[in-house]
Amino acid sequence: MLEIKNISKSFNEGTENEAVIFSDFSLHINKGECTGILGANGCGKSTLFNIISGVLIPEKGNVILNGKNINKLKENERARFIGRVHQNPSMGVSPSLTILENISLSNKKCRKFTLRGLIKKSSIEQYREILRTLDLGLENKLDTEVKFLSGGQRQSLSLLMATLNKPELLLLDEHTAALDPKTSRLVMEKTQELIKTQSITTMMISHNIKDTIKYSDRIVMLNKGEVVLDVRNKDITEKELLEVYNSRNYGSFSEAV
Ligand SMILES: Nc1ncnc2c1ncn2[C@@H]1O[C@H](COP(=O)(O)OP(=O)(O)OP(=O)(O)O)[C@@H](O)[C@H]1O
Ligand SMILES: [Mg+2]
C-alpha cells in the first residue's frame, strides 16, 4: 500500500552540524490498518511524515503509494490523497475562517474553485450532519471563527477535515498530545471511529504507549533511523512494549503511561 523504499535523509549536510536521520530506510505500511509509530524525541518520526507528505525531499529513495511513485509530487498535490493532523491544534485549520469556511475549503482541496463558489448552500446541511457526528455541538457554530474553539474542538475539526475526502493515507503526528486527558480520549475514540468505519490506512505517531497499543493494529518502533520493533498489537502487552522502549531509549519514557 505505502512503500517507503531505501530512503536517505540528512540535515545540514557537509557541515559540522550534519545529522543523518535516515540511511537506506525502508518500511511497508499495510492497507486499511492503523500503524502506531513510537520512538524517542528526535529519532525522525515527524521527518518521516514530512518525507511522505512532500514537505521534505529525501536525498535517495522512493515513496510509493498504491503503486504510484509520488516522489516528484509537491506537498499540495499529495494533500489530495494524504490527510495529516499535527500536534498543534492551530496547524490543521485556518483560525480566522469560520467552521463552515474551513470545512468547505477542505472539501474543495481536490478541485479548482473560486472563493465565491466555495460555500454551496446545498452542502451546508451535509456539513452540519458530518459535524454532528463529533458530538461537540459544532454543527450549531458554523459561522464561528475557528480561533474561538478549544484545542480539542479544533483537533476534532482537523481530523474531520483530514478524513472528509477519504484519503488514501492519514498521518497523525501526536495529534492528541496538546489535549487534556479527557479530551485526548474523546479525540482518540473519534479517530478510531472515523478510520475504522472508512478503513482508512493510518500512521499514528504517539508518545503514549497505552493509546498506541489500544488503537493501532501494528506497532513500529524507530531508533536512530531504524526499525527496532515491528509487532502486531495483539502480540505484545503494555508492559512488554514499555520494557522494549526503555531498553532502546535509555529509560527516557517515564511520562509515557
Ligand atoms: N528542517 C530541519 N532542519 C534541520 N534539522 C531538522 C529539521 N527537521 C528535523 N530536524 C532534526 O532532525 C531530527 C529528527 O527530528 P524529528 O522532528 O523528525 O523528530 P521526532 O522523532 O518527530 O521527535 P519528537 O518526538 O520530539 O517530535 C531532530 O534532531 C531535528 O532537530
Ligand atoms: Mg515529531
Res 256 pLDDT > 50 = no
How is the chain split into domains, by residue range?
2-256
The average pLDDT across 56-68 equals 97
| Confidence bin at 230 (pLDDT 50/70/90) | very high
Judged against a pLDDT cut of 80, whether residue 81 lies above it is answered with: yes
Cα 256 to middle of ligand 2, angstroms: 15
Q: Which residue has the higher pLDDT, 207 or 134?
A: 207
Cβ neighbour number for residue 166 with a 10 Å cutoff: 12
* pTM for the whole structure: 0.92
Tell me, in angstroms, the distance from the centre of ligand 1 to residue 98's CA.
32
pLDDT at 254: 44
The whole-number average pLDDT for the span 169-194 is 93
Asked whether 148 lines ligand 1 (CB < 6 A), one says: no
44 Cβ below 6 A of ligand 1: yes
* Rounded Cα distance, 149 and 157, in Å: 10
- Is the Cβ atom of 122 under 6 angstroms away from ligand 1? no
Q: Are 18 and 10 in contact (CB under 8 A)?
A: yes
Proportion of the chain above pLDDT 70, given as a percent: 92
Confidence of residue 206 (pLDDT cuts 50, 70, 90): very high
Question: Where is pLDDT greater, at 120 or 235?
Answer: 235
Nearest CA to ligand 1 atom 19: 42
> What mean pLDDT value characterizes the chain?
90
Q: Which of 37, 10, 26, 32 is nearest to 63 (CA)?
A: 26
Is any ligand 1 atom within 6 A of the Cβ of residue 45?
yes
- pLDDT tens sequence across 149-177: 998 899 999 999 999 889 999 999 999 99
CATH code for the structural domain at 2-256: 3.40.50.300
Which residues have a Cβ under 8 Å from the Cβ of 111 and sit 6 or more positions away?
none
- Could you read off the pLDDT of 90-149 as tens digits, one per residue? 888 899 999 999 998 887 654 555 555 566 777 889 899 989 988 889 999 999 999 999
Atom of ligand 1 minimally distant from the CA of 39? 21
Looking at residue 59, its pLDDT comes to 96
Which of 10, 18, 37, 47 is the best mutation target for the ligand 1 pocket, counting ligand atoms within 8 Å of the beta carbon and taking the most? 47
**Does the Cβ of 21 fall within 6 Å of ligand 1?**
yes
Distance 253 CA to ligand 1 centre (A): 18
Q: Which atom of ligand 1 is closest in space to residue 87's alpha carbon? A: 27
* pLDDT for 111: 53
- The whole-angstrom separation of Cα 256 and Cα 59 is 33
Verify whether ligand 1 is closer than 6 Å to residue 47 (CB atom). yes
Residue 256 to residue 4: CA distance in whole angstroms: 28
